[in-house]
Every structure is written in C-alpha cells, then in structure tokens.
Amino acid sequence: MTKHIFVTGGVVSSLGKGLTSASIGLLLERRGLNIRMQKLDPYINVDPGTMSPYQHGEVYVLDDGSETDLDLGHYERFTDSPLSRGSNYTTGQIYQSVISKERRGEYLGKTVQVVPHVTDEIKQCVRKLAGPDVDIVITELGGTVGDIEGLPFLEAIRQIPLDVGKENCLFIHLTLVPYLKAARELKTKPTQHSVGQLRQIGIHPDILIVRTERPLGSDNIEKIALFCNTEKEAVIEEIDKEFSIYEVPQGLLDHGLDQLILDKLHLDAQPPQMDDWREMLQRLRNPEHEITIAVVGKYIEHRDAYKSIYESLDHAGIANSSRILIKRIEAQDIEEQDPQLLLSGVDGILVPGGFGRRGIEGKIQAIRYARQCEIPFFGICLGMQCAVIEFARNVLGLPNAHSTEFASDTDHPVICLLEEQKKITYKGGTMRLGAQPCLLSEESHAAECYEADEISERHRHRYEFNPEYKAQLEESGMVVTGSSPDGTLAEIVEISDHPWFVAVQFHPEFKSKPSMPHPLFSGFVAAALQRHQQRLQWQM
C-alpha cells in the first residue's frame, strides 16, 4: 500500500517548502524507498507557462513538455523520482477537468460543487501517483495555510486518510519561528496560530518543521509541542543554511526526521546512504579556485527567474573544484554603458533564455564582447538566438539581421517562426516543448563535453534558427554542431576559432544535478577556469 506524506506551509510564504519537500524525498530515497513527488498549486492559471518570471520565477520544463513550478526543479535535483504531467496540478487544471466532465454530462444531472466534485478531482490527482511499486507519495501544497484559494486542497487532503487509512498518511507542516530583535526572543505564536488554523480544517500535523534563524532551545520546542498538540520529538528545527541549499537534507537527517517519518508510517528501511552526497558537500565547501561568470539577462534582480541556471553553474563549479561568483548583469545596462566597463575581468559570459524585446541589444553587445575578446561564452535558447543575430550582423555584415520575434519586417530573419508555429494563436502550451533528440557533430565542443553523438534535451521556445542562413554562417565560422535527427532544426551552434563559444537552442539547465553536473555547464566552467588561470599567469 502506497503511503502519503502531505507538506503544508504556514505563517509566511517563501519558507522553502519546495526545498524541504525535496530534502524529505532525498532522505527517504537514501533509505531505499521508492518515492514520487508532486506539487499542488492553488492559483487559477492552468500552468505557470503563461506567467511572467516576475510573478512566478522560472518555468521548469519536464521531459514530457509540461511547464511546471520551479519547485519541481528542486525535486529533480535532489531525488531520482520520475516527474511528469501528473507531478504538478493547479486549481486551473482541476477546474478545467471538472468543467469538461460537467459538459460531457458525467455528473449525471447533479449540482457540481467544490465539495465533493472539486475535492474528488484533487484526491484523484494525488492517488494517481500511488501504485504497487511506489512506497511513498510526497505531495507539497503550494501557498500558505489561511489562503482562501488553498481551502479545497486542504479539504481534499484532509479526506485522504479516510479513504486510505490514517496509518498510511502523514501531515508535515512547515512554519516559521521569527526572532524579534527588540524583545531578543524567538516567537512561537505565529506557529501556534497556523497550526490552529489547520486543526480547524480537521488536519492535525504529525510533524512540525520549524524554520528559524537561531536554535529553538528546549523551552520553545516544549511550548510549540504543547500548544500545537504534537509530541516534542516531532518538532524539528530547520536552521537557515547560509552556505548552500544542499546542506538542508543533512540538517534534517541530524534531527532524525527520516526515522521519525518511518516510525510514524510504520515502515522499515535500510540505514541512510549519504556518502556521495556528503562527499559532494565536502567538495562544494572546499573549492581550489574562484571564478567569475557574468549572467547577462533581463530579470536579473529576481533571483528565482534563472534559478536552474544558477544551480547548474554551482554544480559545474563542484565538478571543477571552483567556487562560482555570479555577476548578475542587467542587459539594458550594457546598452547604456561600454560593455568593457561591466564585463572586463569576468572569466565567462552566459546569456540565458527569455522572451520579449527589452534588453536584446545589450545581450547582443555582451555576446560580441565575448566573441571578440575570446571569453568563454554559453548561450541558452534566446541566448543562442542572440548569438546568431550578433554573428550575422557583425561578421556576415548584415546590419539589420534580427529575429522576427523582435522585428517582423527585418531583411534578414536569421531567427524566425517555422510554418507549424505560424498558425498557432493560443498561448498556453503551444511552444516547442520538452525532450527532443539531437545529433552532435564530431570534433565539436558539444560532442567533447557530452562524450556522445546523440543526446536528448528539453526545449521551450517558438522561434528557430533559419536554415536559409546556415551555409553563409558556416562559411564565416559559426557552425551548426547539433541538429534534429532529420537535419531540419539547428540545436547547437559554435564558433570554430574561439576557445569556447557554444550556444544551444534547448535548456540544459533543467538536467543538471549537484551529483551529476550537466556536461555543457561543466565544459563551460572548465573553459572559464582555464582562462582565469591563463590570466593569472599573464599577471605574474
């Protein structure tokens, strides 16, 4: 019988519920259990694909092409649990399904209501992940207890123990105990209120994970346990980790969270196998080098907008014994200043994906600077499209070259829509999405990094490299080194006489893990490290 863990959050948002859920998943997997992970998001958008990165941070894409919440990125980086469309549901999706059923007459004339019809739909979404080979499904509920929109989800998960047995379900509530400087005290009242709200709904949390910047101390733990009707042992402190998010699982392990969960779910399991994770942390803590990578983007002040890119750079740093200092540069600032002012001294330049015209010219100038100064360059999705535009303008001598996304009437549409995308007017889920195969050319940086001739990577874009310009670009030194198997789509371009200039149409950042850094990120950081060391030698 598959068991269920539900993770809710209280007091404030941004408590790191996704990270904590991913860490729980990791600990249980390291004890030999087969888990599945899932996030329920109470907003009405069908998926985050249509939301601005300012609203929602990065949109995380899965192999099957679903556009999901960025917490699923944590799940994939921390665990091996397979993720798919069933791993992220929103209120929008739940209602879409209920309304379609109603239109098909499946409710047989009944009045369709939040309870039981919407709640039944939510329960089905949770139960779908259970199965004979699955020990535990971990379901994280987005938002904060007390939000109006979260109520149907809380009601649905309250009912699940009635369907599958109380002994098969566990409720974990993540809360905050703030430190009030003026009173010089940690305050437990918000936690008490938040648990109180859950209990009114009928959910009695079995375990409380308490985020705090200082150790709670036994007094606070006892107080929380008493007022929240929980055992002392089930109040687990989660102290802020200054250094790295990858320390969170070890912290929870040190507090015995894994064993507590197993005891409460009446499960036996092997001792935790954490050696490789600890070794990875050890390498992360003791880098031999320090290099600076400039990320030139559009949502630079919003930390979550390029979440997987920053994580992937850190992973590549682990692989290269290097601490990565990220210099976040707003592309528009480069338009107003000499690129040299902002970019001199960096060891590598990365231009990530994006949409819309703002900042495009700044990205193109940054790429020109990387090309001319032989600084390792990594372009991702829009970053690749800008690299092609830059090369066409400044090397092929086509000053008006552009993408039709930004200049529909350009004389030289080096990036454009292919026929099948031209017909689409609907915005949600209509891009080239998800895992697609790509063949690599021998003797390319890409083939060297991947050590393979065929790869699969995830996509999320509408516009493509225009094949009409391929011959011209290749003659001048920008070569296509990765293509779709039928040869029609260019997936990777490189500049042959540059130390490391690789630009890809896909999103490699969605497939990097701390324990398994992505080959292209590792190759890019290795090239940046080489440049860094050369510069140190020149200075000597």
Interface ranges with ligand GLN (CB under 6 A): 353-355, 381-382, 405, 460-463
Shortest separation between residue 428's beta carbon and ligand GLN, angstroms: 14
CB 518 within 8 A of CB 502: no
Q: Which two tokens stand for residue 338?
A: 């000499």
Closer to ligand GLN by CB, 145 or 360: give it: 360
For ligand GLN, give the closer residue by CB, 241 or 470.
470
User: How many C-beta atoms lie closer than 10 Å to residue 430's C-beta?
Assistant: 13
Q: Please say which residue, 382 or 529, places its beta carbon nearer to ligand GLN.
A: 382
The token duo for 343 is 């970019």
Supply φ then ψ for residue 343, to 5 degrees. -110, -10
Residue 11 DSSP one-character state: S
Query: Nearest approach, Cβ of 379 to ligand GLN (angstroms)?
Result: 10
Let me know if 507 is a catalytic residue. Answer: yes
Name the phi and psi angles at 375, rounded to 5: -90, 135
Judged by CB, which is closer to ligand GLN: 207, or 350?
A: 350
Three-class SS state of 69? coil
In angstroms, what is the minimal distance from the CB of 59 to ligand GLN? Answer: 9
Cα torsion for 451, 455, 458, 464, to the nearest 10°?
100
Catalytic option among 58, 155, 311, 509: 509
Nearer Cβ to ligand GLN (107/355) = 355
Quick one: 16 or 354, whose CB is closer to ligand GLN?
354
Cβ proximity of 148 and 193 under 8 Å: no
Q: How far is the CB of 171 from ligand GLN (least distance, A)?
A: 37
CB of 39 to ligand GLN, least distance (A): 21
Q: Please give, one letter per residue, the 3-state secondary structure of 209-259.
A: EEEECCCCHHHHHHHHHHHHCCCHHHEEEEECCCCCHHHHHHHHHHCCHHH
Closest CA to 367 of 392, 353, 347, 386: 386
Q: How far is the CB of 99 from ligand GLN (least distance, A)?
A: 30
Q: How far apart (Å, rounded) are the C-alpha atoms in residues 237 and 251? A: 9
The tokens describing 411, both together, are: 């004389």
Q: How many CB atoms lie within 10 A of CB 192?
A: 17
Cα separations in angstroms, 381 against 61, 161, 317, 459, 539: 13, 45, 22, 8, 35
Nearer to ligand GLN, 154 or 438 (CB): 438
Could you tell me the smallest distance in angstroms from the CB atom of residue 404 to ligand GLN? 10
* C-beta neighbour count of 288 within 10 angstroms: 10
Contact between 378 and 362 under an 8 Å Cβ cutoff? The reply is no
Identify which of residues 384 and 478 has a Cβ nearer to ligand GLN in the complex.
Answer: 384
Q: Give yes or no for a contact between 80 and 511, defined as CB atoms under 8 angstroms apart.
A: no
> Of 272 and 353, which CB lies nearer to ligand GLN in the complex structure?
353
Residue 50 in tokens? 């249509």
> Which one from 117, 302, 445, 507 is the annotated catalytic residue?
507
Q: Of 125, 169, 228, 381, which one is the catalytic site residue?
A: 381
What is the helix (H) or strand (E) element at residue 6, kind and residue range? strand 3-9
Tell me if residue 509 is catalytic.
yes
CB of residue 432 vs ligand GLN: minimum separation in angstroms? 8
Handedness of CA 12, 13, 19, 25 (dihedral sign): positive
Residues 6+ apart with CB under 8 A from 270: 31, 32
Complex with ligand GLN: residue 58 or 311, whichever CB lies closer? 58
Question: In terms of Cα–Cα distance, which of 64, 112, 120, 114 is closest to 88?
Answer: 64
Which residue's CB atom is positioned nearest to ligand GLN? 353
Least separation in angstroms between residue 405's CB and ligand GLN is: 5
Helices (H), 79-188: 91-103, 119-127, 151-164
Q: What is the DSSP letter of 115?
A: I
To ligand GLN, the closest distance from the beta carbon of 461 in angstroms equals 3
Q: Which two tokens stand for residue 188?
A: 């437990």
Measured distance between the N- and C-terminal CA atoms of the chain, rounded to whole angstroms: 66
Sheet with 402-403: strands ordered across: 402-403, 413-417, 463-465
Q: Measuring CA to CA, which residue among 415, 410, 401 is closest to residue 355?
A: 415
Catalytic residues, by residue number, are 381, 507, 509
